[in-house]
Amino acid sequence: MINILAVGAGGFLGAVLRYGVSTVFVSRLGLHNAFATFSVNIIGCLIIGFLAGFEFKNIQPMKYFLIAGLLGGFTTFSAFSLDALLLFKDGETLKALMYIAGTLGLCLLSVFAGFAAFKMIN
C-alpha cells in the first residue's frame, strides 16, 4: 500500500511540475508548447538515467515515488527510454529497436487515428 501512495504522491508532483514548465514556456516565454514537451522529455530522461544507477534496496517506496510517480507524471517518455536502455543493456538489441520503432510508430499512428475518429463524430 505504501508503494501505491508513493506513486500517487510522486505522480501528483510530477504533473504539477510539468504544468509549471508548460506555463513558463508558453505564457512567460511565448514559445510553443512543443518546446515545453521537448524540454520535459529531455530533463526526465536525464533524471531517470541518473536514478537507474541507484539500487533502492531498502527504500522501495522512494524508487516508486521518483521513477513511476514523479517522472511518470512529469514525462512518460523517460520510462520508455529507460525500458529501451534496459533491453539494449540485456543484449536484446533487436527487441530494443522493435520496441523503439513500434512505440514511436504506433503511438503516432494512434494519435492520428484518435484525431480522425474525433473528426468523424464531430
- Tell me the per-residue pLDDT of 19-53, one tens digit each, with 9 for 90 and over: 999 999 999 999 988 888 889 989 998 998 888 88
Is residue 89 very low, low, confident or very high in pLDDT (cuts 50, 70, 90)?
very high
- Give which of 47, 38, 49, 58 is closest to 86, Cα–Cα: 49
Residue from 117, 122, 50 nearest 81 by CA: 50
pTM of the model: 0.75
Contact 32, 40 (CB under 8 A): no
Whether 79 has a pLDDT exceeding 90, the answer reads no
Residue 1 pLDDT class (50, 70, 90 cuts):
very high
Q: Does residue 74 register a pLDDT over 90?
A: yes
Percent of the chain with pLDDT over 90: 66
Highest mean pLDDT among 70-84, 86-100, 107-121: 86-100
Q: DSSP character for 68?
A: I
